[in-house]
Every structure is written in C-alpha cells, then in structure tokens.
C-alpha cells in the first residue's frame, strides 16, 4: 500500500498559502538576480557565462515535460545558435547521460563543461578552470527554477486536485510533451544514422542495432536495462573489431 494515497490527510507544509508563495518568489528572485547581476557586472552581458545563465534559465522553464522535452531546445541553442560545442559533442553528452545513473537533465553540466573548455573563457592556460566554472553556472541556473517550481507549485497543484478546470489543460500539456519526445527520438535517429549530416553516409550498423533493440523491446518484451547493456556491448565490440574486419576485406 502507498504511504501517501488519496485518503491521506494533507500535511501542514503542503497547504497552499499566498504569503508562502510570495516569500518563495522573493527568495528565488534574489537567488537568480544576484548571481546574474554579478556575472554581468564582472564579465559583461555578452560574455558566454552570462549568456549561459540566461539561456539555461529559459531551458529550465521548459522542463515540465522532463529532460526529453527540453534537450532539443538545448541542442539548438548550445550548438546551432551560440556554437558553444559541436553536434558530435552534444550527441556524446546525450549518450553519456543515457547510459549512466542519474537524471538525463544532468547532461547540461556536461554541456557547460565542454562549452567552457572549448571557448577558453579564461585563456588557453586555464581550460580546466573554465570548464568547471561554466559547468557550475549552467547547473545552478538550470536547477534553481526547478526547485522553485516544486516548492512553490507543489502546494498550488495540491489545492487544484480533482478540479477539472485545472486537470483538463494538463492533459493537453501531456499530449504536447509526448510530441516533443517523439521529436527528440527523430533527432536522435537523424544524427545517429547520418553522423555527418543528411548528405553524409548512412550508418547501416547503427540502423540495424536500433532495429534489433526495438524488436527486443516490442516483440520480446525485454527490459530496457538489458537492451541498453546488450546494445552497448555489441556497439563496443563492433568498434573494436571494425578495423580488423576492414583490414581483412582490404587485404
């Protein structure tokens, strides 16, 4: 049985109070404004650190659909608009986030580190320091709005429980999020099957491995963890054996 179910009495801190919401908004605003003002004052608004803070704040406000909903936006901003990192580096970060424990949104820390390193924010002799600072800035401005939304929005959502005027729009939002996640799946497929872009060579091995993984999930009902582990091992083996195999063909 659930520890908290439909009949569990509400705890005091879950009751919605306007004064508590106002206090959280003031505290959250200060926690955002002070670091942003400091970055702008020290480095200037056009500096990459200030722009990272602003961009990932906006990205954080899209995470109501989870990391899968926001990652296409992060890709477009970090890779295509700001050119902080290369498309291949972003794909590597996504693969790392998918195959390691923890929430996928932690990929933004990877993005910040690589961006700070590649942009050499503090000069060519301080690349590691630039990566650490950029990763810290990105992580802070990504997670701050999320914590505020949970602390401030949680009691508000609880107060609307069972009210159709509020639950009906959430259904539409859920449908929109599913569409965004499908868009991310297509984004993954495009950059995996055509690593060099649409005009490049089609990666037959990746397409075959993806088809086998899909078959294992849908037809044979294998667990996701098993499929990921097997796909990773097969891909690793292929990368090790590919030069040897190509040498035999060439010989």
| pLDDT for position 5 | 67
pLDDT value at position 105? Answer: 85
Query: What pLDDT score was predicted for residue 159?
Result: 67
pLDDT tens sequence for the chain (251 residues): 556 666 767 667 677 788 888 898 899 999 999 999 999 999 999 999 999 999 999 988 876 656 777 887 888 899 989 999 988 888 888 888 877 777 888 899 999 999 999 999 999 999 999 999 999 999 999 999 888 888 887 777 766 666 667 667 767 777 777 777 787 788 778 878 887 766 678 888 889 999 999 999 999 999 988 998 899 899 889 888 888 777 776 65
Q: What is the DSSP letter of 78?
A: I
pLDDT of residue 140: 96
Q: What pLDDT does residue 75 have?
A: 86
**pLDDT for the residue numbered 47:** 93
Buried b / exposed e over 231-250, threshold 16 CB at 10 Å, is beeeeeeeeeeeeeeeeeee
Q: What is the DSSP letter of 82?
A: S
Give the CA-trace dihedral at 109, 151, 65, 158, to 10 degrees.
160
Query: What Å distances lie between residue 88 and 114, 171, 196, CA to CA?
Result: 12, 35, 9
The residues spanned by each domain of the chain are 12-168, 174-250
Return the pLDDT at 33. Answer: 96
Which residue carries 């910040």 as its tokens? 112
Torsion of CA 180, 85, 239, 188, to 10 degrees: 10
Q: Is 193 within 8 Å of 206 (Cβ atoms)?
A: yes
């Amino acid at each position: 049985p659930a520890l908290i179910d439909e009949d569990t009495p509400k705890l005091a801190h879950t009751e919605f109070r306007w004064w508590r919401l106002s206090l959280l908004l003031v505290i959250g605003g200060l926690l955002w404004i002070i670091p942003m003002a400091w970055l702008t004052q020290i480095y200037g608004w056009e500096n990459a650190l200030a722009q990272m803070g602003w961009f990932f704040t906006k990205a954080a406000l899209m995470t109501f659909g989870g990391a899968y909903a926001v990652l296409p936006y992060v890709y477009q901003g970090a890779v295509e608009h700001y050119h902080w990192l290369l498309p291949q580096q972003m794909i590597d970060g996504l693969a790392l986030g998918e195959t390691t424990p923890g929430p996928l949104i932690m990929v933004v820390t990877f993005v910040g580190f690589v961006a700070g390193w590649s942009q050499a924010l503090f000069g060519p002799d301080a690349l590691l320091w630039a990566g650490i600072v950029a990763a810290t800035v990105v992580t802070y401005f990504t997670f701050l709005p999320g914590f505020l939304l949970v602390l401030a929005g949680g009691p508000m959502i609880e107060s609307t429980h069972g009210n159709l005027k509020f639950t009906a729009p959430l259904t539409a939002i859920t449908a929109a999020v599913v569409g965004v996640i499908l868009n991310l799946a297509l984004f993954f497929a495009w950059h995996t099957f055509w690593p060099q872009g649409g005009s490049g060579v089609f990666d037959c091995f990746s397409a075959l491995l993806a088809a086998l993984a899909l078959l294992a999930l849908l037809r044979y009902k294998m667990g996701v963890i098993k499929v990921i582990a097997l796909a990773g091992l097969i891909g690793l083996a292929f990368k090790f054996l590919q030069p040897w195999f190509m040498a035999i063909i060439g010989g």
